[in-house]
Structure 1
Amino acid sequence: MNRTALALALAACGLPAAPDALAAGPAAPRTLALHCERVFDARSGKVLGEHTVLVRDGRIAEVIPGRAKLADAESIVLADHTCTPGWTDLHVHLDGESSPQSYSEGFRLDPVDFAYRSVGYAEKTLMAGFTSVRDLGGEVTLHLRDAVNQGAVKGPRIFAAGTSIATTGGHADPTNGFNTHLSHLMGPPGPTEGVINSIDDARQAVRQRYKDGSDVIKITATGGVLSYAKSGDAPQFTVDEVKAIVDTARDYGFRVAAHAHGKEGMKRAILGGVTSIEHGTYMDDEVMGLMKQHGTWYVPTISAGRFVAEKAKIDGYFPAVVRPKAERIGALIQDTAGKAYRNGVKIAFGTDMGVGPHGDNAREFVYMVEAGMPAAYALQAATIRAAEVLGVDDQGVIEAGKRADIVAVPGNPVDDINAVLKVDFVMKDGQVYRRPTLDAPAQ
């Protein structure tokens, strides 16, 4: 990996763009006053009446009921809008996007190519209202995260896993699908590449992720849909291997997310102490009971399930070994999510975008409501609950002292969840990235 080339690619993509007219012109005023006709209270799940949100130095300074008049603040009037905390997508892959060419591009393209693409994906995600994401797999994204933090490119706050941890032949084994000659030439991947086969390997792989600069650990506890392998649900770690990963991760302050479709793999991941189960397709009452007992979160990724089930109907979109998995597993996830909600499993928001198109993340809200979750619950899943999964306490609510991450949509999304598809105001860390074309006049 040429890290210098990656950095140059990211910088070259992002430098021409300014976050907003506010940033491109004279310096923004020290205080902004957002006049929200309604505010979503993520703690209670209720929509409150008109409030003024004061923003100063990237933080929420004060939340005042009603329309406050402040001579020393620039007003942004969001008439007939509901302001919510910035949304968090807990499962994305910003380094790529599914297409019929995805399986060959790894042989034809360089990391720099994926870095260039990731810049556009990051901006689309931010403009869709997602001010934070947890990226669960992809070395490029570690550098994208740094570029966003440095202000070189537009994008959400990124909590990056870097390389996922798998077993030999597992869902994230980077050599799956290679021919015998190429596999022998490269040699078997090991902990540095994220492939483990023992407790010692497990510890080394986590330590390597720390060395690489990861923020979170991602394991592939079962087979997967899109990997070039037959099984989409077979367990791929022992409980002791999972425990070794989780215990070592805890030493470095990491939380562990587990990709898992099959029941046995989920059980082992839960017993091993992971923070969240991703996808959870074949979750049953026993698994749900274990999740409630251990406090394990569930991130359904309904969007990805619907996407792959639809594309499986198209000849040639997926390789032959992948197509039956996509058709079988993808169609089940939305139903599983509804059952998990009714059984009291803790649910947080995630889409697996990169499977589906970046920027369409908010459709997951609609799918969650279709699965039987109240709209307010879905919004909480992407705000205060997502912050709990990440282990951060400075975002996910509109309160004084928290990060000024605020999204506004016309109408009331609790009454009509489709409003989330019409985001026209986005603020991250107090910086306005998107605003209605015609603001109501300041008062």
Structure 2
Amino acid sequence: MKKALQQTLQTAFQAAACALLLATAFANANANANAADEKEFTVIKAGRMVDVETAKVLTDQLIVIQGERIVSVGPAAAGKIPAGARVIDLSAATVLPGLIDSHTHLTSNPHEHGYSSLGTSTVRAALYGVRAARDTLNAGFTSVRNVGADGFGDVALRDAINDGDTPGPRMIVSGYAIGIQGGHCDDNLLPPEYNDTGRGVADGPWAARAKVREMVKYGADVIKICATGGVLSKGDAAGAQQYTLEEMQAIVAEAHKLGRKVAAHAHGTSGINDAIRAGVDSVEHASLIDAEGIKMAREKGTWLVMDIYNDDYILGEGEKAGFLPESLVKEKEIGQLQRDNFRKAFEGGAHMAFGTDAGVYPHGDNAKQFFYMVKYGMTPMQAIQAATINAADLLGKKKDVGSIKAGKYADIIAVFADPLADVTSLTKVGFVMKGGQQIKMARPD
């Protein structure tokens, strides 16, 4: 009996040892494969390259990429292509950093607004986000900040993209937007017998602090709040202040303590100014910003993210997309004012980052906003900078994205035109690379 037990134990030990050796062998093989992958180079020949940091266009550049990051950038005449490197010839194109949209809602369907949105579950919205993420990436936007999604669908989408389950841009996400009961961030479409209150609702400083903690607990990278009413919500005035200064100060203090930035939805003047006083990192929309708000934003370094394209879609497609009649009235009241104030804010020296409110209009059309940014005061280079280094700074990702520079992710796009002569050419991105992986190559006919 004792001998049999010893033989059993010896057999088990040998099996375990064999399994350990096999596991070690597989681990070493994987490590060697990964090491081999890391040694693989890709080289882009750029006929023209937009250096957004110096605001210059460089010609005949070699961009050397190893793995997912850029190794070197420099003149082709002085550069060397590593042996065995994959070469992508963009000599006939203008190469730019991957674009960044600082205000998106990837899980929102632009064809289902108002009451038509009530039949969409949070799971279905998240699945819709898969398509929206793909369309956004194919349009040349390799990073986005998603500021508001039900069911933490944006958290799930971010994680799926990061895990390689679905293609999409790099995502900074907020989860639910936080706001007052009955305000822009509440659910106001159902009658009182449903007793329906939005998950992001928090009234009072301590409740608002607790809501920040909840968003962080479930994966939020950034905190989104509603300082004023909105255009697309029911029963509130877009310009009316909702959160008090005291409530916003509590939110900002809690978020910053937890290492999160705060984005404040704010259309109205008093809400914009109190949000800036409270220390938010960005003001979204900023439609009715005044001279005092522009001055404070400039002095405090508060970013303005003004979505000046989607007025076209709301007023042009609003009825078909299910926008509430009162939303169309509100948009007519403030849409042009926002564009005029965009010009004033830019001329006043405010910090401006590109953001479009994608999801209000169809995903993938983000670059249509460049036309209006130029129309209302920016040069094409300044508009491109707003969507690259400026937006990267706002997102807290300037070390990794926003320009074509050694050490940064190889997030690179190209157009077969000159976007500095015609900024609308950015709506026809022909080449997309994210993290060294080619996503798209569509040469012109």
Shorter-chain TM range is 0.7 to 0.9
> Relative contact order (alpha carbons < 8 A, sep ≥ 6): 1 or 2 greater?
1
User: Aligned AA for 2:222?
Assistant: V
The residue correspondences of 1:22-101 to structure 2 (distance < 5 A) are 30-66=40-76, 68=79, 70=81, 71-99=83-111, 101=112
Shift of 1:437: 4.4
Secondary structure of the residue aligned to 2:284 is: strand
Deviations 1:279-303 (A, max 9, x none): 1111111111111121111111112
Secondary structure of the residue aligned to 1:36 is: strand
Counterpart contact for 2:276–2:297, Cα < 8 Å = yes
Deviations 1:301-328 (A, max 9, x none): 112233223345x488422332211221
Counterpart contact for 1:34–1:52, Cα < 8 Å = yes
TM-score by length of 1: 0.88
Shift of 1:372: 1.5
Distance 1:291 1:432 in 2: 38
The residue correspondences of 1:96-175 to structure 2 (distance < 5 A) are 96-99=108-111, 101-138=112-149, 139-174=152-187
* Equivalences, count: 404
Residue among 215, 218, 233 paired with 2:239: 233
Change (3 A) 1:62 1:276: same
Matched, 1:181 2:193: yes
User: Aligned AA for 1:163?
Assistant: Y
Matched, 1:332 2:344: no
Q: Once structures 1 and 2 are overlaid, which stretch shifts more, 27-36 or 412-421?
A: 27-36
- What residue in structure 2 maps to residue 7 of structure 1? none
Change (3 A) 1:111 1:105: farther
- What residue in structure 2 maps to residue 12 of structure 1? none
Q: Once structures 1 and 2 are overlaid, which stretch shifts more, 410-419 or 150-159?
A: 410-419
Secondary structure of the residue aligned to 1:133 is: strand
Residue among 376, 397, 407 paired with 2:381: 376
Deviations 1:33-57 (A, max 9, x none): 0000011111111111110101111
Shift of 1:250: 0.8
- What residue in structure 2 maps to residue 422 of structure 1? 428
Distance 2:345 2:312 in 1: 17
User: Aligned AA for 2:369?
Assistant: E
Identity %: 40
Distance 1:105 1:322 in 2: 14
Structure 1 unmatched runs, 5+: 1-26
Larger Rg: 2
Distance 1:41 1:360 in 2: 24
Counterpart contact for 2:417–2:425, Cα < 8 Å = yes
Change (3 A) 1:159 1:315: closer
Residue among 275, 285, 291 paired with 1:285: 291
Distance 2:178 2:438 in 1: 37
Distance 1:411 1:321 in 2: 41
Deviations 1:399-419 (A, max 9, x none): 111111001111221122122
Distance 1:128 1:98 in 2: 17
Secondary structure of the residue aligned to 1:387 is: helix
Distance 1:221 1:92 in 2: 18
Distance 1:271 1:50 in 2: 47
Distance 2:424 2:328 in 1: 31
Matched, 1:255 2:265: no
Distance 2:208 2:307 in 1: 26
Secondary structure of the residue aligned to 1:434 is: strand
Residue among 340, 343, 348 paired with 2:348: 343
User: Aligned AA for 1:323?
Assistant: L
Distance 1:209 1:141 in 2: 12
The residue correspondences of 1:292-441 to structure 2 (distance < 5 A) are 292-312=298-318, 314=319, 317-392=322-397, 393-437=399-443
Counterpart contact for 2:430–2:444, Cα < 8 Å = no
Change (3 A) 1:316 1:92: closer
User: Aligned AA for 2:437?
Assistant: Q
Distance 2:320 2:401 in 1: 44
Distance 1:123 1:332 in 2: 33
Secondary structure of the residue aligned to 2:168 is: coil
Residue among 193, 204, 222 paired with 1:198: 204
